[in-house]
Amino acid sequence: MTAARKTLGISRDAAPKADAKASFNVTGARLDTLKERAKEQRRNPSEAQKALWAELSGSKLGGVKFIRQSVVGSTIVDFACPSRWIVVQLSPEDSNPDVNELQDRKLIEVGIRVLRFSEDEVLGRIEGVVREITTELNVPFDKRSARRKAGATAAPRFDEGAEG
């Protein structure tokens, strides 16, 4: 018996929540599930994730540490730089653009900078992708003012145990 593949969708009827944090942080069984999925994704990365991790791992970009497949709020991000409040997301060819937009918006609403690239971009022009990430890393960033602007009262949690 084969397991059915789950897909994500977005309800167009859902009204946005007034508090960005209300739908961002998760706890309990949902958090455990996300951590397990992140662990599985670290074990089975795509070719694009492998290629980009080779460029980001080991603090190669100006000594800045990235972690991979990290739970940030209510989503799993491909690469996170907690010290600069940046996440890098890779979109597979068959990804749902509505889900991608929703995830990006939730992260931005709590003050996290999001860089999104297609997997084809990473595989086809990795030097340019790394250059864009480096440029964003070098932009002065004050996380307190970003959180104030976003209306967040507590720091989003980056899952620090996800670097291997």
Q: Look at 10-14, 18-22, 41-45, 97-101 and tell me which has the smallest mean pLDDT.
A: 10-14
User: Does residue 54 have a pLDDT over 90?
Assistant: yes
Contact 136, 83 (CB under 8 A): no
The pLDDT of residue 157: 60
Residue 61 is given by DSSP the state B
The pLDDT of residue 38: 93
Q: What is the CATH number of the domain that holds 146?
A: 3.40.960.10
**Is 102 inside a domain boundary?**
yes
Say if strands 86-91 and 113-118 run parallel, antiparallel, or are unpaired: parallel
Say if strands 75-81 and 67-72 run parallel, antiparallel, or are unpaired: antiparallel
Closest C-alpha among 37, 34, 53, 33 to residue 164: 53
**Is 89 inside a domain boundary?**
yes
**Is 76 inside a domain boundary?**
yes
Whole domain around residue 53: which residue ranges?
49-150
Q: Look at 14-18, 54-58, 120-124 and tell me which has the smallest mean pLDDT.
A: 14-18
Q: Spell out the residues 6+ positions from residue 164 whose beta carbon is closer than 8 angstroms to its own.
A: 42
Q: What is the tally of structural domains in the chain?
A: 1
75-125 pLDDT tens trace: 899 999 999 999 999 999 999 999 999 999 999 988 899 999 999 999 999
**Is 144 inside a domain boundary?**
yes
User: Does residue 162 have a pLDDT over 80?
Assistant: no
| pTM metric for this prediction | 0.75
**Is 134 inside a domain boundary?**
yes
Residue 139 is given by DSSP the state S
CA distance 164 to 84: 20
**Is 40 inside a domain boundary?**
no
The pLDDT of residue 133: 96
User: Does residue 47 have a pLDDT over 70?
Assistant: yes
Quickly state the pLDDT bin for 145 (edges 50, 70, 90).
Answer: low
The pLDDT of residue 141: 75
The pLDDT of residue 25: 67
Identity of the amino acid at 119: E
Question: What percent of the chain stands above pLDDT 70?
Answer: 71
Closest C-alpha among 61, 90, 92, 94 to residue 77: 90
